[in-house]
C-alpha cells in the first residue's frame, strides 16, 4: 500500500452551492428573475409561447453566461472581447548567422 503525506490542507471547506461562487449564484438568480418577468411581460401582447420561450432563452443565456461561465478565469464577456483583438507579435530579424545584421 502506498502512503502519501500531504503538507498542507488542500480540502478547504467553502460555502459553495453546486460548485458556484456567490457572485455566480447571484447572476443565475438575476437571470431567472429577469426571465420570469420577461415571460409575464410578453404574454400581455399575445405572442406565441414558442417565440416567448426563444426570447427568454436567449436573454437568460446572455445574463447567466456573462456571470457564470469563466473560461481561463475571466468572465465570458472579457474573454470574448479579448478574442476580438488582433494578435500582434513583434519580432526583430537579425539574420540566420551570427555575423549578419
Q: Cα 84 from chain centroid?
A: 16
Whole-structure pTM value: 0.56
| Domain spans, the chain | 22-84
**27-73 pLDDT, tens digit each:** 888 888 999 999 999 999 888 999 999 999 998 888 887 777 777 77
Amino acid at each position: 500500500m502506498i502512503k502519501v503525506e500531504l503538507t498542507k490542507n488542500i480540502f478547504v471547506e467553502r460555502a459553495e452551492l453546486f460548485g458556484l461562487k456567490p457572485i455566480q449564484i447571484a447572476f443565475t438568480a438575476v437571470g431567472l428573475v429577469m426571465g420570469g418577468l420577461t415571460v409575464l411581460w410578453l404574454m400581455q401582447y399575445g405572442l406565441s409561447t414558442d417565440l416567448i420561450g426563444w426570447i427568454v432563452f436567449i436573454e437568460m443565456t446572455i445574463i447567466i453566461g456573462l456571470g457564470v461561465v469563466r473560461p481561463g478565469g475571466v468572465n465570458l464577456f472579457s474573454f470574448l472581447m479579448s478574442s476580438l483583438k488582433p494578435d500582434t507579435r513583434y519580432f526583430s530579424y537579425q539574420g540566420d548567422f551570427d555575423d549578419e545584421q
